[in-house]
Amino acid sequence: MAAVKPVEYKSRDGLTIHGYLTLPKGVKAKNLPVVINPHGGPWARDQWGFNGETQFLANRGYAVLQMNFRGSTGYGKEFWLKGAKQWGKTMQDDISDGVKYLIDEGIADPKRVAIYGASYGGYATLAGITFTPDLYCCAVDYVGVSNMFTFMKTIPPYWEPYKAMFAELVGDPVKDSALLAEASPVFHVDKIKVPLFIAQGANDPRVNKAESDQVVEALKKKGIAVEYMVKNDEGHGFANENNQIDFYKAMDAFFAKHLAPAKEEPKK
**Amino acid present at 136:** Y
One of 46, 97, 109, 204 is an active-site residue; which one? 204
pTM of the model: 0.93
How far is it, in rounded angstroms, from Cα 225 to Cα 195? 7
How far is it, in rounded angstroms, from Cα 64 to Cα 228? 23
Angle between helices 120-131 and 90-104 (to 10 degrees): 70
Residues in the chain: 268
Can you give the pLDDT at residue 264? 62
The closest of 110, 115, 135, 138 to 30, measured between CA atoms, is: 110
Domains, the chain, ordered by start: 4-258 (3.40.50.1820)
Q: Which residues pair with 108 in a beta bridge?
A: 32
Question: In Å, what is the CA distance from 246 to each residue of 40, 211, 252?
Answer: 21, 21, 10
One of 119, 146, 184, 212 is an active-site residue; which one? 119
Sign of the Cα pseudo-torsion (255, 256, 258, 263, in order): positive
Respond yes or no: is residue 188 known to be catalytic.
no
Could you report the per-residue pLDDT of 151-189, keeping only the tens digit for each? 888 887 887 888 888 899 999 999 999 999 999 999 999
The closest of 10, 86, 93 to 43, measured between CA atoms, is: 86
Can you give the pLDDT at residue 267? 62
Question: In Å, what is the CA distance from 199 to each residue of 60, 64, 71, 75, 235?
Answer: 20, 20, 25, 31, 11
Q: How many CB atoms lie within 10 A of CB 34?
A: 29
Which of the residues in the chain have pLDDT under 50?
none
* Bond before 266 cis per omega within 30 degrees: no
Can you give the pLDDT at residue 55? 98
Respond yes or no: is residue 246 known to be catalytic.
no
Can you give the pLDDT at residue 208? 75
One of 18, 188, 236, 258 is an active-site residue; which one? 236
Can you give the pLDDT at residue 268? 59
Respond yes or no: is residue 119 known to be catalytic.
yes
Helix (H, G, I), strand (E, B) or coil at 6: strand
